[in-house]
Structure 1
Amino acid sequence: MKILIVEDETGIAAFLKQGLEEEAYTVVMAHDGNKGLQLALSDDYDLLLLDWMLPGMSGIAICQEFRKQNKKTPVILLTAKDSSEEVVFGLQAGANDYIRKPFHFDELLERIRVQLRAKSGETSHEALQLGEIRMDLSAHLVYRNDELIQLTQREFALLEFLLRNKNRVCRRVQILENVWDSNYNYNAGIIDVYINTLRKKLKLEGEDNYIQTIRGVGYIAREV
């Protein structure tokens, strides 16, 4: 999932970038409105996170111009404004949601998840299944039979990608681009480390190894 953040306060921008990358999102940054609009229109994103007050062009103006191009990508405004009139104005400009500064990161994260679920058309109870493994996407939980399996955000994102592509070979470059970020200089060997960790946590071994290695290519999730 790829998120564009347009925020001119460097401390907040760094905080958001680090927090979202730890949640396995790919983050693109801009620190002024003109650059933010340029980036928003030049690439595809899953969500835009826009500060209201920006140098060059406000977040509201970015949102308005973005919507004029018939872009449907969800937009969340970050704002210190708190009057109901200003909030309504932001929503009328095309924003899907807003969050007031200062905010708790967990609240922002949940608002992002709500917008991404709505964008993808997920129902509140969407689940992915692979044999005895079940992923509850809305609750962000993984089970093997009735046992809750504790996964990190990156492990969860890797498993979700494999299950969404069940019975299809996932090449290493595809995994890096979708679970990590192709712009980062990650060694592809990191995938092997995470796959091995997933297998251990999910107790996948022998005939129950639902995540199989395709040597020299990548991995495939399939029921055996």
Structure 2
Amino acid sequence: MRLLIVEDEMKTGDYLKQGFIEAGFNPTLCRNGLDGHHLAMTEDFDLIILDVMLPDVDGLRIVKALRQAERHTPVLLLSALDTVDDRVRGLELGADDYLVKPFAFNELLARARTLLRRGQLAPQSDRLQAADLVLEVAKRRASRAGKKLNLTPKEFALLELMLRRAGEVLPRTLIASQVWDMNFDSDTNVIDVAVRRLRSKVDDDHVLKLIHTVRGMGYKLEVPDDDAC
């Protein structure tokens, strides 16, 4: 799961990042509101953990901007402000939960997992895109630079998984369980063959390559920074 943590207090930010890594998450840490706002608006995360009192763009403004842009990523606010009015304001602006500092990490972790479970039950986006690659889930249609891609059902499912978790390294075990509904057998190369075939359809005719091998770890779909919109 991809988490965005926006926290300007250095020790607190490092503590949260390490805690979520140890809990099996993939956290990105931003130490100011400007960078946090940019990432929250331009990248896909499963959850955003957001400090309210930031020195540049405060957390409440970021929540408001996200909801006005119809980005519905779950947001958990962190703040030393503990009045009822403060909590109500954050929730009314669109935050999903509010935790007052100081707090126990175990409580934060439990609340994060609750929000993530809720998010998994919410409707997922029907149109997925990375650069000029577009996937229309309901129509079962895929295209690159406006040209239709002829994908098998498994290739379509694999590409959907990669787009929904763009930028994240997907281990072969995860791909096997999500696309083939099976346990990964290290003696078989079915995953590697499937990714190779999908990559040939998605990338071979294009200078910009989107599907990448991460040696010893798995695969990911990612738009290089220089080409990101």
TM-score, normalised to structure 1's length? 0.59
Q: 1:159–1:115: structure 2 CA closer, same or farther, 3 Å change rule?
A: farther
Greater than 6 Å deviation, 4+ residue runs: 157-160
SS at match of 2:180: coil
Q: Per-residue deviation at 1:17?
A: 0.4
C-alpha displacement at 1:16, in angstroms?
Answer: 0.4
2:178 is the counterpart of 1:165: yes
Task: Give the Cα–Cα distance (whole angstroms) in 2 for the partners of residues 168 and 113 of structure 1.
Answer: 23
Q: Distance between the aligned counterparts of 1:16 and 1:87, measured in 2?
A: 21
Distance in 1 of aligned mates of 2:110 and 2:174: 20
* Superposition pairs of residues 13-28 of structure 1, within 5 angstroms: 13-28=13-28
Q: Which residue of 2 aligns with 1:115?
A: 115
Verify: 1:76 aligned to 2:90, yes or no: no
**Residues in 1 aligned to 2:37 and 2:11: alpha-carbon distance in whole angstroms:** 21
Any idea what the Cα deviations from partners look like across 1:73-105, whole Å, max 9, x if unmatched?
Answer: 100000111110110001011100011111111
Aligned to 2:2: 2
The residue aligned with 2:39 is 39
- Which amino acid in the other structure matches residue 178 of structure 2? N
- For 1:53 and 1:118, locate their aligned partners in 2 and report how far apart those are by CA, in whole Å: 26
Report the CA distance between 1:212 and its aligned residue: 5.3
- Distance of 1:166 and 1:39 partners within structure 2: 28
Q: Secondary structure at 1:165's aligned position in 2?
A: helix
Could you tell me whether the CA contact under 8 Å between 2:46 and 2:74 is conserved in 1?
yes
In the alignment of these two chains, the number of paired residues is: 147
| Contact 2:175–2:191, Cα closer than 8 Å, also in 1 | no
Contact 1:3 1:48 in 2 (8 A): yes
1:83-130 deviation line (CA, Å, top 9, x unaligned): 1011000101110001111111110001000000000018xxxxxxxx
Q: % of aligned pairs identical? A: 36
Secondary structure of the residue aligned to 2:77 is strand
Unmatched 5+ residue regions in structure 1?
Answer: 123-156, 171-209, 220-224
Counterpart contact for 1:46–1:73, Cα < 8 Å: yes
**Which ranges in structure 2 are unaligned for 5 or more consecutive residues?**
123-169, 194-229
- Once residues 211 and 85 of structure 1 are traced to their aligned partners in structure 2, the CA distance between those partners, rounded to angstroms, is 54
What are the residue-to-residue correspondences of 1:68-217 with 2, within 5 Å? Answer: 68-121=68-121, 161=174, 164-165=177-178, 167=180, 211=185, 213-215=187-189, 217=191
Letter in 2 for 1:66: L
Q: Does 1:57 align with 2:57?
A: yes
Letter of the aligned partner of 2:180 in structure 1?
Answer: N
Return the offset for 1:167: 2.8
Q: Using CA pairs below 8 Å that are at least 6 residues apart, which structure has the higher relative contact order?
A: 1
8 Å contact from structure 2 (residues 176, 191) kept in 1: no
Task: Report the TM-score, using the length of structure 2 for normalisation.
Answer: 0.58
Amino acid in structure 1 at the alignment position of 2:174: F
Q: Helix, strand or coil for the counterpart of 1:214?
A: coil
CA RMSD of aligned residues (A): 2.9
Distance 1:109 1:56, change over 3 A: same
Query: Once the two structures are superposed, what CA deviation does each residue of 1:122-159 show, in whole Å capped at 9, x if it has no partner?
Result: 8xxxxxxxxxxxxxxxxxxxxxxxxxxxxxxxxxx979
Counterpart AA for 2:45: Y
Q: State the alpha-carbon separation in 2 of the partners of residues 212 and 159 from structure 1.
A: 9
Taking structure 1 as reference, are residues 214 and 160 closer, same or farther at Cα in structure 2, changes over 3 Å only?
closer
User: Matched residues in 2 for 1:159 and 1:168: separation?
Assistant: 12
For residue 165 of structure 1, report the CA deviation from its aligned partner: 1.8
